[in-house]
Chains A and B, each alone.
Chain A
């Protein structure tokens, strides 16, 4: 059996169960006048039933794995992925404080570096051009109010 398939099936079952349990805390009502929790409760139960069906199918299939393993087999750098996603989280955290132009510049510098653009000259050039270009496009041309941050731009 495919481990990823089982984890996915269990995660969906748990999501369905959490939905159903939380729905029970809301008014369910009657068929004639359904309450707030009625529809999500039905959906939660349906999802649990479907995920159990899915897991049973996997169990009975045994070693006959149907999912394409291509993606799983081409594992790359978890470290690179963690740094990449972590940078996005960090930048979002300081988005309002740093302001749009500075955030976009720092985001580009960091992500390019993580993805292997090691030459600082090229990295800075691409980042500055992109940050300035997007600033003029969104802030100046489309007139969208972006966070100014401490630099006040």
Chain B
């Protein structure tokens, strides 16, 4: 442990050089700006800016790219809160309560708590990264296809239960998302499915098109469908002192932040889209432990603080398998792997001994990056919150223009804009019929991985379904799913019988 601390101190010396601090600052600013633009998430942002790092030394290059990553994650939360447009998958959950807070004139506290929560979670994540990296990375390898399948089934049931008013409707939306996720090439055999001969559909439905469509365009269309006089009514605007969280807000959030940071870190080690799973697991935990679960979905600050902290923590933990094993478990870390290889660094068990300066320097820079984001974003909260002062008659066309532009930039394809419009119309109908968008979106992301895990599990077991209940980790998740499904009903029956008896 002492050796790790000593190495971390060396890392801070490397990361605190004027040059590296500057690159970290540039990365955070550029990342935040990219994250705020719909469509350009961290993946596109890092991919676009890798060429800009070619002339830098590997340590400075990775420090700058890590800054872009954190900045983009933060920026994505900003659009979720203000406009109900998730910048990336991990911000979908933030839309639920963050947007409701903004509608009630509490965009400032929501944005501020994201910055504070991310910083605290980042701090916890750094210590986890330093001390727990090697043993936790080994534990993560115990996750095979059956465990992963059971974990995702648990996730879907939990998410369907915590979003919306009807469990059945949310579950149906999750299934619709899974079906949409099957469009494109079969991940196992490579055959085309539901493409109807279109080459554009071979790669599947672009996640960003569904996210911007269902949430962003759907929300705009709902607003346009309102009577004219309602368009002149803005959201409640806060007074200056209400732009930052009150003591009560901080008191409510601190538990959520700590829980989110710890759970997010653990989940970050699991292969797959860890930040996404981490956010909805945190949301579920917060709703379960809250004394006022009915406030969730209506603007509960814990519903923003917990998932955003979990997101940040999971992002840091995801670097462990990349650095220690050389295996990227998600798309962002895969891009980082590419960037490291371009700069002549091969991550893996030997990275710490062969490139100690880079390894510890990047870890220290993550902490510095979190601090920069905190001091950069807290003063910007009033600026971002004031976006909502723009009259809806002007704001709505602006949102449409940025959604269409952002959508085009993902693949430079007009087809993606068509998809966005289609899902926008669907998002409008979903609002009309009171269906939740979050389960659909998360199922779309996790669907292909769920299918692969399911089919691989059955291949391993020669078609025997016992594989899901014969492995300890898998059975724990499945039991948790059953408990989660049965517990509310049992509690209701128990309450009724108690009333009847009394």
Give A contacts to B, CB under 8 Å.
4-5, 7-8, 11-12, 15-16, 19, 22, 26-27, 30-40, 43-44, 46-47, 50-51, 53-54, 57, 66-68, 71-72, 74-78, 80-81, 84-85, 88-89, 91-92, 95-96, 100, 104, 107-108, 111-112, 115-117, 126, 130, 134, 138, 142, 144-146
Residues of B within 8 A of A4 (CB): 432-434
Do the beta carbons of B401 and A51 come within 8 Å of each other? no
Q: A88-B400, A104-B405 are in contact. List 20 more A-B contacts (CB 8 A).
A: A8-B435, A12-B176, A33-B463, A38-B455, A39-B454, A39-B455, A40-B182, A47-B175, A54-B172, A66-B166, A76-B226, A76-B227, A77-B227, A81-B224, A88-B421, A92-B421, A95-B417, A96-B414, A130-B398, A146-B409
Do the beta carbons of A107 and B225 come within 8 Å of each other? no
List which B140-186 residues lie within 8 A (CB) of chain A. Answer: 165-166, 168-169, 171-172, 175-176, 178-179, 182, 186
Complex Cα spacing A40 to B186, Å: 11
The contact of A40 among B193, B401, B455, by CB within 8 Å, is B193
List which B455-499 residues lie within 8 A (CB) of chain A. Answer: 455, 458-459, 462-465
Do the beta carbons of B400 and A107 come within 8 Å of each other? yes
Complex Cα spacing A71 to B434, Å: 9
Residues of A within 8 A of B169 (CB): 54
Do the beta carbons of A67 and B227 come within 8 Å of each other? no
Residues of B within 8 A of A145 (CB): 412
Residues of B within 8 A of A39 (CB): 182, 451, 454-455
Residues of B within 8 A of A138 (CB): 405, 409
Do the beta carbons of B397 and A115 come within 8 Å of each other? yes
- The smallest C-beta distance from A47 to any residue of chain B, in angstroms, reads 5
Given contacts A32-B463, A51-B172, contact A8 B433 (CB under 8 A): yes
Complex Cα spacing A142 to B409, Å: 10
Complex Cα spacing A142 to B48, Å: 9
Complex Cα spacing A103 to B465, Å: 55
Given contacts A8-B435, A47-B172, A134-B402, contact A36 B189 (CB under 8 A): yes
Do the beta carbons of A71 and B421 come within 8 Å of each other? no
Do the beta carbons of B189 and A31 come within 8 Å of each other? no
List which B384-423 residues lie within 8 A (CB) of chain A. Answer: 392-394, 396-398, 400-402, 404-405, 408-409, 412, 414, 417-418, 421
Residues of B within 8 A of A67 (CB): 165, 433-434
The contact of A26 among B193, B405, B409, B462, by CB within 8 Å, is B193
Encode contact with A along B216-257: 1 for CB under 8 Å, 0 otherwise: 000001101111101100000000000000000000000000
Do the beta carbons of A88 and B227 come within 8 Å of each other? no
Residues of A within 8 A of B294 (CB): none
Is B343 interfacial (CB 8 A cutoff)? no
Complex Cα spacing A116 to B230, Å: 12
Complex Cα spacing A123 to B496, Å: 61
Is B3 interfacial (CB 8 A cutoff)? no
Residues of B within 8 A of A107 (CB): 397, 400-401, 404
Given contacts A85-B221, A96-B414, contact A116 B228 (CB under 8 A): yes
Residues of A within 8 A of B231 (CB): 115-116
Do the beta carbons of A31 and B458 come within 8 Å of each other? yes
Interface of chain A, main secondary structure: helix
Complex Cα spacing A43 to B153, Å: 13
- The smallest C-beta distance from B411 to any residue of chain A, in angstroms, reads 11
Complex Cα spacing A103 to B221, Å: 20
Residues of B within 8 A of A134 (CB): 401-402, 405
Q: List 14 A-B contacts (CB under 8 A).
A: A7-B433, A8-B433, A12-B176, A39-B182, A39-B455, A47-B175, A50-B168, A50-B175, A68-B434, A84-B224, A88-B404, A111-B397, A115-B393, A144-B412
Do the beta carbons of A104 and B401 come within 8 Å of each other? yes
Do the beta carbons of A80 and B225 come within 8 Å of each other? yes
Do the beta carbons of B179 and A92 come within 8 Å of each other? no
Residues of A within 8 A of B463 (CB): 30-33
Complex Cα spacing A40 to B191, Å: 13
Residues of B within 8 A of A130 (CB): 398, 401
Complex Cα spacing A44 to B172, Å: 11
Residues of A within 8 A of B191 (CB): 26-27, 36
Complex Cα spacing A89 to B409, Å: 18
CB-based nearest A residue for B434: A67
Question: Interface centre among A19, A36, A50, A54, by most B CB within 10 Å?
Answer: A36
Residues of A within 8 A of B171 (CB): 50
Do the beta carbons of B458 and A47 come within 8 Å of each other? no
Do the beta carbons of B172 and A92 come within 8 Å of each other? no
Do the beta carbons of B418 and A92 come within 8 Å of each other? yes
Residues of B within 8 A of A80 (CB): 224-225, 228
Given contacts A46-B175, A54-B169, contact A72 B405 (CB under 8 A): no
Do the beta carbons of B433 and A5 come within 8 Å of each other? yes
Residues of B within 8 A of A8 (CB): 429, 433-435
Do the beta carbons of A43 and B402 come within 8 Å of each other? no
Residues of A within 8 A of B226 (CB): 74, 76
- The smallest C-beta distance from B68 to any residue of chain A, in angstroms, reads 13
Is B194 interfacial (CB 8 A cutoff)? yes
CB-based nearest A residue for B395: A115
